[in-house]
Structure 1
Amino acid sequence: MFKKIVSFLNQDVANLTKENQGTETVSEISTNIHNQALAEIKVLSTIAKTLDNPNYKNPDFSFYLKIKSFFATNKEQYQGLQNSAELLALAVKAQANFLKIEQTELRYRSTKQQEYYQFVIDFLGEKFAEDKSNEASEGGAIVTKKKDNSKYSKEEFKQQIRAKLEEVKLTIKTEQGKQALEDYTESLEALAAEKEIGLKLLYLFKKFNLTDFSILRTISDMVIYLQDKNMQNMKAMQDLVVKNEEIFLKVGKIIGIPKTKENPETYGRILQYLALSKKHESSIQQFTKMMDVMKQWKNFYKTITDIREQYPPSQYQQPDEFKQEIPGLSLYQTYGEYLSIFK
């Protein structure tokens, strides 16, 4: 009699559990998609955990992330400055290539060599110049638009300058002159490797007749000088800008600082960003890799959560895999807010 009672009770519990879990069955296709996404996310979470680093919790690195986020989200005083900050950061990083270009153009001045330099500038002008004939009025302001047919292509640029280089080298008698143009071309190709930004910077320097690339070295020296200083001290940044005001005003035209923001505070914020980026360079590279992994992780995470929401346990008998914890979720909760600012 006791065994029968226990059996009846167990059956009632099973029926109650089944009733609470729902009676419908999750489709096989959805289950397979869910499980595949879960398998992928396990791999990605393992990779992301190996890229996680205690340095990311360092207050100074956290401050860098906050500043980068301010630029990316156009927060208050940082509004419209992200592109300018990235342009200057690249210019300082690529200063050796800019200086090589400047020195070659100043030292090697034969007719054919100058023809080659002009060919390069004409090409960049065709790709990056604004079309004054294509102006439109938006809200009472004149907006200059870029040519629709001026799409930049790194491969096209390399192909054309190499073809022109071979043509010019045939007319140059000295090996030294030929090698100078070869080095010049390699510097151009190094700038071209930086997506569109590197060559656009060169074009802007030429456009504004700012051919003294040594100012980039001066800014680089400031960045190095700040490495052992308190970079959260904005007043110190502004004081350094004021002492080198002429340099920042010159470079401001190149990186597109609006006239309304040509002040020590604006340049101080950009200088602060450059100095922090330099200080945490190695951590930033690893953090960026982790963000790339987490972006992939997020896609699979969405697949999993969407399917689980589509088949709630109140209506469906969920497979055991639907109840598993999602690996990497704690990392996402910690760093997810930064995914959009790393590209």
Structure 2
Amino acid sequence: MLKKIVSFLNQDISTLTQNNSQKEDISENSINIHNQALSEAKILASIAKTIDNPNFQQSDFKFYLQIKSLFARNKESYQGLETSAELLRLAVKAQSNFLKIEQTELRYRSTKQQEYYEFVLNFLGEKFGDDDNNNDLENNQIVAKKRQENKYSPEEFKQQIRTKLEEIKPTIKTEQGREALEDYTESLEGLAEEKDIGLKLLYLFKKFNLTDFSVLRVISDMVTYLQDKNMQNMKAMQDLVVKNEDVFIKLGRIIGVPKTKETPDTYARLLQYLALSKKHEQTREQFIKLIQVLKPWQGFYRTITDIREQYSANQYNLPEEFTQEIPGLSIYENYQQYINIF
């Protein structure tokens, strides 16, 4: 009996050895690509781990992410409003720059100063005039459109206005006038830091002759008021909108709210988004840093999984690295649904 068992085991081992010898080897190129991606994923996973924060899991912040997702994915009542929401958010955030620009243009009106203002406006018109807005033939409403080509350069803008400023300054008679133009230029440069959105907003304000930037302060005051309130209460948001309807109507066309959506409900959703963005501003910035790490991690992850799917353990001799857990996977799975909304 014992001899039969030993014989059976020997046959089994022999069969296993034979099966392994029949398996194919994975190409060296595939192994190298896999292992390089695994190495990169490990580095990014380590960075992601240091950025990950318990605040990202808090229910209130998750509610903000949910609202952000609805805008980004054109879901339900949020359809077509993402650009409007971002334009309004930035307008409120940069209100001090807009107000400084408005005050300077109203107060300092010499010929050369107005020449400088006109130079800035012409530059903005050249960069944003072709693709700032489209006439929607269906509802005859101005609808904000995202830029299709990256023909705007913050560096180019800063260089040109600085060159023009140095040309204009010697012709300004008073030190106060020269300092005002310097502050004006710094405010423009501050708007230029926000990709192309800040200066595009300035262009839209001027295009539609809305020179009273104090409306942004009114919106900002509402956002501040809501910080300790229940931001999931849409009725409270709508009540604020109705009380300040003229403010939202003034801004609606500039930020591209479609005519069919010019309702208290739409503006309440925009206001809710602004308030949530303000409340979670610091957490949001930290979360964006995490997303910026997870995006390239996702690329390496897909490379790894694609290669592994090509080579099954039944057919190929798998190197040890092919069976290792992919570092950072748990963090990625926590936030995967939010990667494409920022």
Do the aligned partners of 1:120 and 1:161 also contact (CA within 8 Å) in 2?
yes
Aligned residue identity for 1:179: E
Alignment partners' CA distance in 1, 2:88 and 2:139: 31
Report SS of the residue matched to 1:249.
helix
1:111 maps to what in 2?
A: 111
Do the aligned partners of 1:30 and 1:307 also contact (CA within 8 Å) in 2?
yes
Shift in alpha-carbon separation, 1:172–1:90, aligned structure 2, 3 A: same
Give the deviation of 1:146 after TM superposition.
Answer: 11
Alignment partners' CA distance in 2, 1:10 and 1:233: 73
Do the aligned partners of 2:26 and 2:318 also contact (CA within 8 Å) in 1?
yes
Give the deviation of 1:153 after TM superposition.
Answer: 2.4
Greater shift, 84-93 or 26-35, is seen at 26-35
Alignment partners' CA distance in 2, 1:143 and 1:268: 20
Greater shift, 36-45 or 77-86, is seen at 36-45
2:204 maps to what in 1?
A: 204
Give the deviation of 1:142 after TM superposition.
Answer: 10
1:302 maps to what in 2?
A: 302
Shift in alpha-carbon separation, 1:167–1:324, aligned structure 2, 3 A: same
Alignment of 1:239-278 (within 5 A): 239-278=239-278
Give the deviation of 1:188 after TM superposition.
Answer: 0.6
Shift in alpha-carbon separation, 1:112–1:241, aligned structure 2, 3 A: same
Do the aligned partners of 2:142 and 2:258 also contact (CA within 8 Å) in 1?
no
Alignment of 1:38-57 (within 5 A): 38-57=38-57
Shift in alpha-carbon separation, 1:272–1:14, aligned structure 2, 3 A: farther
Greater shift, 16-25 or 121-130, is seen at 16-25
Give the deviation of 1:104 after TM superposition.
Answer: 0.6
1:338 maps to what in 2?
A: 338
2:163 maps to what in 1?
A: 163
Do the aligned partners of 1:204 and 1:254 also contact (CA within 8 Å) in 2?
yes
Alignment partners' CA distance in 2, 1:300 and 1:38: 7
Task: Report whether the alignment pairs 1:37 with 2:37.
Answer: yes
Report SS of the residue matched to 1:325.
coil
Give the deviation of 1:116 after TM superposition.
Answer: 0.8
1:151 maps to what in 2?
A: 151
Shift in alpha-carbon separation, 1:212–1:303, aligned structure 2, 3 A: same
Do the aligned partners of 1:126 and 1:150 also contact (CA within 8 Å) in 2?
no
Aligned length: 340
Alignment partners' CA distance in 1, 2:317 and 2:105: 74
Give the deviation of 1:336 after TM superposition.
Answer: 0.5
2:91 maps to what in 1?
A: 91
Residues 166-212 of structure 1, C-alpha deviation per residue, up to 9 Å, x if partnerless?
11112112111111101101111111111111111001111111111
Give the deviation of 1:296 after TM superposition.
Answer: 1.2
Aligned residue identity for 2:222: M
Greater shift, 117-126 or 90-99, is seen at 117-126
Aligned residue identity for 1:102: E
Alignment partners' CA distance in 2, 1:203 and 1:51: 37
Greater shift, 306-315 or 227-236, is seen at 306-315
Report SS of the residue matched to 1:231.
coil
| Backbone CA RMSD of aligned residues | 2.9
Do the aligned partners of 1:52 and 1:290 also contact (CA within 8 Å) in 2?
yes
Structure 1 length-normalised TM: 0.91
Task: Report whether the alignment pairs 1:231 with 2:231.
Answer: yes
Alignment partners' CA distance in 1, 2:238 and 2:269: 8
Shift in alpha-carbon separation, 1:21–1:195, aligned structure 2, 3 A: farther
Give the deviation of 1:290 after TM superposition.
Answer: 0.9
Shift in alpha-carbon separation, 1:177–1:139, aligned structure 2, 3 A: closer
Gaps of 5+ in 2: none
Do the aligned partners of 1:130 and 1:146 also contact (CA within 8 Å) in 2?
no
Report SS of the residue matched to 2:171.
coil
Task: Report whether the alignment pairs 1:186 with 2:181.
Answer: no
Give the deviation of 1:140 after TM superposition.
Answer: 11
Shift in alpha-carbon separation, 1:236–1:73, aligned structure 2, 3 A: same
Greater shift, 157-166 or 8-17, is seen at 8-17
Alignment partners' CA distance in 1, 2:149 and 2:335: 40
1:80 maps to what in 2?
A: 80
Aligned residue identity for 2:97: N
Alignment partners' CA distance in 2, 1:98 and 1:2: 92
2:214 maps to what in 1?
A: 214
Alignment partners' CA distance in 1, 2:29 and 2:125: 54
Aligned residue identity for 2:163: A
Gaps of 5+ in 1: none
Give the deviation of 1:25 after TM superposition.
Answer: 0.5
Alignment partners' CA distance in 2, 1:63 and 1:240: 21
Give the deviation of 1:58 after TM superposition.
Answer: 1.2
Do the aligned partners of 1:35 and 1:321 also contact (CA within 8 Å) in 2?
yes
Alignment partners' CA distance in 1, 2:202 and 2:140: 28
2:126 maps to what in 1?
A: 126
Residues 215-266 of structure 1, C-alpha deviation per residue, up to 9 Å, x if partnerless?
1111111111101000000111010000100001001111011111111100
